[in-house]
Amino acid sequence: ALAAVSVVPSNGSPTGYKVTIKYHNSSAQEVQIAGIPHFTNQYQTTITSAASFDPTDYKPGDFPAFTDVSVYSMEAKGDGAFTFTRPLPSGTYQYYFLPDCQNVTLCVSMDQGITDPDNPPFETVQGTEAGSPFQVPYHPGYQSYADVNLNFDYALPVSGPQGKIVADFYPSPGAVSPSADLHDFAVYLPPGYDNNSAHAAYPLLYLSHGGGGAAGDWQNQGQVSNILDRLILEGHIEPTVVVMPTFNGLLNTSNPSAQIVRPLYQQYLFPYIESHYHVSTDPGRRAFAGLSLGSALTYEMYINATSYFGYYGLFSGALAPGHPLDDYVNTSMAAQNPALLDRGLTVAYGLFDIAFDDTRLLQEALDGIGSKYVSRVAPFGFHAWNTWQDALWTFGRTTLWKARPL
């Protein structure tokens, strides 16, 4: 099977760009393409429902809807050739193929999708990433909309110096992936990274995926290396090493609780990073951030490893929906642990985020103890990757390695 993706400017497209994905599979009778979202707008959207229309009907102000499983039929061209063509607006997308799938829900739930062999995702362990990524630029002539900024070009590759993403492994007793007692992570090394001790140690950010995720998620779905390159190039942060671990496979279970993951990271991951990378051991130059279940892990670090990090980025979550306010950080906890009041915090989530109530309660709790933080509610945001790209971009520009809000 062969495939290809192209993104080209098009004056006849309602977004200014036309995306074409080609796939060849001589044994398939029909092929569907999944992962590319349907679209909605701010007037037809709630946390649980959205307009969900085809991007051929795009109008300025429309944004991806993440309330359903979006699947499109590819056009059969004969001799095993299939094509998908749509106008798409600015953003990062993922896709995978479903040949001869009779039940989309079942095919997706059983991970029967096929990634593009000509556009494979970055992986630390083979088989952990389901989709192939691509990006579409912003076109102000077609996509500009005064009420909502939907320009995601900050996640495109920079024209200046670029860092690199690599896979690495560390000993972690009890781990089951990729092999017994060995676990994986991805790491971003900034442009010009120098492991020589004569060079000043680099600040260090740990960045976590969410439930069901893997170490490659931030690179594939978030284009994290591009965002970090731009934050550095534009002077928002100094060159920073970013470690993206995975909590799945740490033990013989999926999505272990934050209370289980934290001590495992403290005992095995953190010492490995400090001994194998030229990173600072100053808490003021260390940070932890994460999305969804990774945000719950960030909250666990904030509460129970407070002084180890100077900065925290909580993206879409803290405890879980349904917790009362009393379960969150409170004045008694702050009295016993005053460091809770002087960390650099960004709390970010989407307007249509299923973690909206949970994260808003966290903010109310932080207000209650007098902790200052940067708040960001993405006006287009579901519990989805463009929300978390926006959160990281906000964290880097407003909080990371900067003075605390007053």
On the question of pLDDT at 1 being above 80, the answer is: no
Q: What pLDDT is stored for residue 127 in this prediction? A: 86
CA dihedral 121, 238, 207, 292 (to 10 degrees): -100
Tokens 């900067």 belong to 402
Give the pLDDT band of residue 375 (cuts 50, 70, 90).
very high
Average pLDDT over residues 374-390: 98
Give the pLDDT band of residue 315 (cuts 50, 70, 90).
very high
Task: Say which range, 31-40, 69-78, 108-117, 222-231, has the weakest mean pLDDT.
Answer: 108-117
Per DSSP (E only), the strands in 162-297 are 164-171, 182-189, 204-208, 241-245, 286-291
Q: What is the pTM of this model?
A: 0.96
On the question of pLDDT at 109 being above 90, the answer is: no
Show the tokens assigned to 58: 């795009």
* Domain 2-151, CATH among 3.20.20.70, 3.40.50.300, 3.10.20.90, 2.60.40.10: 2.60.40.10
Q: What pLDDT is stored for residue 107 in this prediction? A: 86
pLDDT digits (tens, 9 = 90+) for 237-255: 999 999 999 999 999 888 8
Average pLDDT over residues 273-297: 98
Query: Furthest-apart CA pair in the chain: how many Å?
Result: 71
- The answer to whether residues 395 and 291 touch, using CB atoms and an 8 Å cutoff, is no
Give strand pairing partners of 298: none
Omega prior to 9 cis, within 30 of 0: no
Buried b (16+ CB within 10 A) or exposed e, 7-23: beeeeebbbbbbbebbb
Q: What pLDDT is stored for residue 110 in this prediction? A: 72
Average pLDDT over residues 225-232: 99
pLDDT digits (tens, 9 = 90+) for 37-87: 999 999 999 998 999 999 999 999 999 999 877 899 999 999 999 999 999
Number of H helices, E strands in the chain: 10, 18
Q: What pLDDT is stored for residue 112 in this prediction? A: 83
pLDDT higher for 194 or 302? 302
Give the pLDDT band of residue 223 (cuts 50, 70, 90).
very high
Tokens 């070009």 belong to 153
Q: Which pairing describes strands 286-291 and 204-208: parallel, antiparallel, or unpaired?
A: parallel
Our measurement of the distance from residue 23's CA atom to the centroid of its chain's CA atoms, rounded to an integer in Å, reads 27
How far apart (Å, rounded) are the C-alpha atoms in residues 163 and 188? 7
Specify the domain boundaries for CATH 2.60.40.10 within the chain.
Answer: 2-151
Contacts 24+ apart (CB under 8 A), 16-20: 16/139, 16/141, 16/142, 16/143, 17/87, 17/88, 17/89, 17/136, 17/137, 17/139, 18/85, 18/86, 18/87, 19/84, 19/85, 19/86, 19/87, 19/88, 19/93, 19/134, 19/136, 20/83, 20/84, 20/85
pLDDT higher for 292 or 105? 292
For residue 56, give every residue at least 6 positions away whose Cβ sits within 8 Å of its Cβ, in sequence order, or none: 14, 86, 87
- The answer to whether residues 114 and 97 touch, using CB atoms and an 8 Å cutoff, is yes
CB atoms within 10 A of CB 231: 23
Mean pLDDT of the chain: 95
On the question of pLDDT at 3 being above 70, the answer is: no
Specify the domain boundaries for CATH 3.40.50.1820 within the chain.
Answer: 157-398
Q: Which helix H or strand E contains 32, and what residues bound it?
A: strand 31-34
CATH of domain 157-398: 3.40.50.1820
Q: What pLDDT is stored for residue 2 in this prediction? A: 63
